[in-house]
DNA sequence: GGAACTCCTTGACCTGAGTCAACTGCGGGA
DNA sequence: TCCCGCAGTTGACTCAGGTCAAGGAGTTCC
């Protein structure tokens, strides 16, 4: 745990266009924390007394089933906030949160943040935009889980990742078992699905690297075509 | 389509604690619309140029699978807003929206609303709280779809509904086929699941009315116990 | 260099739940 | 009062995908 300077906050989406005074006030209530790989940041049911921004590393937000299966709701990348919804509606965290790589995060006590929100329309609007995007992400996750087969979810993931990477070569940002949990399945099924794509020459797989060989086919599968 | 007065807006959660000036400005950009049962309010992919508040009636937000299965993301009740996330992040509506009963809704053009947000910290905070609650709802939907069986989802739904009704007698707010789509299943499976609960004397079913006879059993099923 | 991991892959099996089809019964309209 | 139609129920069948178990292939640590 350490102090945070205003310049630490500059450049993050949530704090863009903020007047300097607001940034300074935010920095004053913030504390910096380091987490080792695998370390818990918060658990489902904990009192949501803080909102976080990830500076460095990678963090997963996930739920567990009664028999221990894991659904990853979100993989947080550097610069993104997390725990917002819980902290801002003053209840418990609705999911678990764990660092999946060495990470540095900034913690804002919920009360302080809420108070600052009321005095900073720009911060409030930024927060609203962030929440809206999050909601979009969740809507598409619901769609995927309820209405798409695993092959379509995987195809969509690869296409999205290739857009982000601006390349046909996708390097998975997480281990395959975690990707499986993200896609709402298990690693065995992911492995089999990836094999079907490989056998059809739609992708080439080399460890964490996946090359898209036949984009149109992948798009058809993402749109619901059976394979 | 009709005009909206400030008093029409009073009392709705999103507009609570607003200074009179803000309410008046909101009313000035708002228009009132009536929808018949089954009428489309917007479709997935439409440009999200407005945010809505439902005054009367009932509205469903839903997605369709490639082969036409329906997942209801949300059932909007009187007083709630909808289309917020889409309108506030300036893209397309990510889902379909249809009135499931005769309804009256107020429409706020996205640009106007966004402008008002910047000038009304209280409105912004209300919006943030609303979005946060929505996000919680989605998180629990993801959890249900990915990690719970249909019986557990149904049990949880009944328990929640009974809390809202403050009674062991739950009157379904929607047709069973729509409830099925809400729970991420089909009406046949809902029917069979309900029968299993009936046979075990856990509930009594009379049309749209369901009496909870054995709450502890229902709680166990909601927590993942197989039946 | 090898032991002990952890991650991934593959095969065999099983089951929850979706599909299709038939039937029932209530409720509204003329 | 009699249809007609839609919501709901039930049975039979099918299958996507989860579980269990057994390797294999890198990695890390003595």
Q: Are residues A79 and A132 in the same domain?
A: yes
Q: Is A101 on the interface with B (CB under 8 A)?
A: no
Nearest Cα of chain B lies from the Cα of A27 at a distance, in angstroms, of 21
The CATH number assigned to the domain holding A193 equals: 1.10.10.10
CA–CA dist A191, B193 (Å, integer) = 33
Chain segment B172-220, per-residue pLDDT in tens:
999 999 999 999 999 999 999 999 999 999 999 998 999 999 999 999 9
Q: Tell whether B123 is covered by a domain.
A: yes
A97 and A162 belong to one structural domain:
no
The C-alpha angle B192, B196, B201, rounded to 5 degrees, equals 145
DSSP A172-196: -SS-HHHHHHHTTS-HHHHHHHHHH
What is the reported pLDDT for A11?
A: 76
Please indicate, yes or no, if residue B193 is contained in any of the structural domains.
yes
Q: What is the CATH number of the domain that holds A30?
A: 2.60.120.10
Task: Report helix, strand or coil for B31.
Answer: strand
Collect all residues of chain B within an 8 Å Cβ-Cβ radius of residue A145: 142, 145-146, 184
B192 touches strand C (CB under 7 A): no
Final residue of a structural domain among A107, A123, A146: A146
What is the domain range of residue A137? 6-146
pLDDT at residue A10 greater than cutoff 80? no
Residue A92 forms beta bridges with which residues?
A: A47
Q: Beta strand pairing status for A169-171 and A209-212?
A: antiparallel
Token pair belonging to A162: 């290739």
Please give the interface size between A and B, counted as residue pairs whose CB atoms are below 8 Å apart. 146
CA of B206 to C1' of C23 (A): 20
Which B residues in the span 154-193 are in contact with A, Cβ-Cβ below 8 Å?
184
Look at residue B143 in the predicted model and tell me its pLDDT. 97
Residue B185 contacts residue B150 (beta carbons within 8 Å) = yes
B window 16-75, beta carbon within 8 A of A: 63-67, 69, 71, 73
Q: Are strands B96-99 and B169-171 parallel, antiparallel or unpaired?
A: unpaired
Residue B105 has pLDDT above 80, yes or no: yes
Instruction: Tell me the pLDDT band of B6, cut-offs 50, 70 and 90.
Output: confident
Give the pLDDT band of residue B11 (cuts 50, 70, 90).
confident
Å: B66 CA to C21 C1': 23
Give A209's pLDDT tier (boundaries 50, 70, 90). Answer: very high
**Which residue, A95, A126, A146, sits at the end of a domain?**
A146
Of the two residues A5 and A162, the one the predictor is more confident about is A162
- The answer, for B219 touching chain A at a CB cutoff of 8 Å, is no
Query: Can you tell me the mean pLDDT for A63-73?
Result: 93
Q: Specify whether B171 is located in the same domain as B202.
A: yes
Domain final residue, candidates B84, B117, B138? B138
Instruction: Tell me which nucleotides of strand D come within 7 A of a protein CB.
Output: 7-12, 16-21, 27
Which of the pair, B9 or A132, is modelled with greater confidence?
Answer: A132
B200 and B111 co-located in one domain: no
User: pLDDT for A82-100, tens place per residue?
Assistant: 999 999 998 999 999 999 9
Contact B128 A69 (CB under 8 A): no
Spanning CA of B227 to C1' of C30, the rounded length in angstroms is 48
CA B197 to chain centre: 26
Provide the sign of the torsion angle of the four alpha carbons B39, B44, B50, B53, taken in this order: positive
User: C-alpha distances in angstroms, B25 versus A14, B50, B119?
Assistant: 27, 16, 11
Calculate helix-pair angle for B121-147, B110-119, nearest 10 degrees: 120
Q: Is the pLDDT of residue B76 over 80?
A: yes
CA closest to C1' of C16 belongs to: B149
Same domain, B67 and B122: yes
Q: What is the rounded average pLDDT of the residues B48-68?
A: 94
**Nearest residue of B to residue A127, measured between CA atoms:** B128
Residues B132 and B156 in one domain: no
* Positions of chain C reached by protein Cβ under 7 A: 7-12, 16-21, 27
Cβ–Cβ contacts within 10 Å for residue B167, how many?
12
Asked if A57 and A119 sit in the same domain, the reply is: yes
What is the ipTM metric for this complex? 0.94
pLDDT band of B2, cuts 50, 70, 90: confident
Q: What's the CA dihedral at A112, A113, A118, A121 to 10 degrees?
A: 150
- Tell whether A227 is covered by a domain: no
């Amino acid at each position: 745990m350490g102090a945070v300077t205003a310049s630490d906050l500059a450049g993050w989406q949530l704090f863009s266009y903020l007047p300097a005074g607001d940034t300074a006030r935010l920095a004053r209530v913030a504390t910096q924390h380091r987490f080792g790989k695998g370390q818990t940041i918060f658990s489902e049911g904990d009192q949501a007394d803080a909102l976080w921004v990830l500076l460095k590393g990678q963090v997963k937000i996930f739920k567990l089933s009664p028999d221990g299966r894991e659904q990853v709701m979100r993989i947080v990348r550097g610069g993104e906030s997390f725990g917002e919804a819980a902290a801002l509606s003053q209840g418990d965290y609705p999911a678990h949160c764990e660092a999946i790589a060495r990470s540095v995060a900034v913690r804002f006590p919920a009360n302080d943040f809420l108070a600052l929100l009321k005095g900073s329309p720009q911060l409030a609007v930024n927060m609203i935009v962030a929440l809206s995007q999050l909601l979009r992400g969740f809507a598409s996750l619901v769609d995927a889980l309820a209405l798409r087969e695993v092959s379509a979810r995987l195809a969509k993931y690869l296409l999205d990742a290739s857009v982000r990477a601006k390349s046909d070569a996708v390097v998975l940002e997480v281990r395959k078992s975690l990707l499986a949990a993200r896609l709402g399945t298990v690693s065995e099924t992911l492995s089999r699905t990836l094999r079907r794509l490989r056998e059809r020459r739609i992708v080439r797989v080399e460890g964490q690297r996946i090359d898209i060989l036949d984009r149109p086919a992948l798009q058809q599968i993402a749109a619901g075509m059976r394979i």
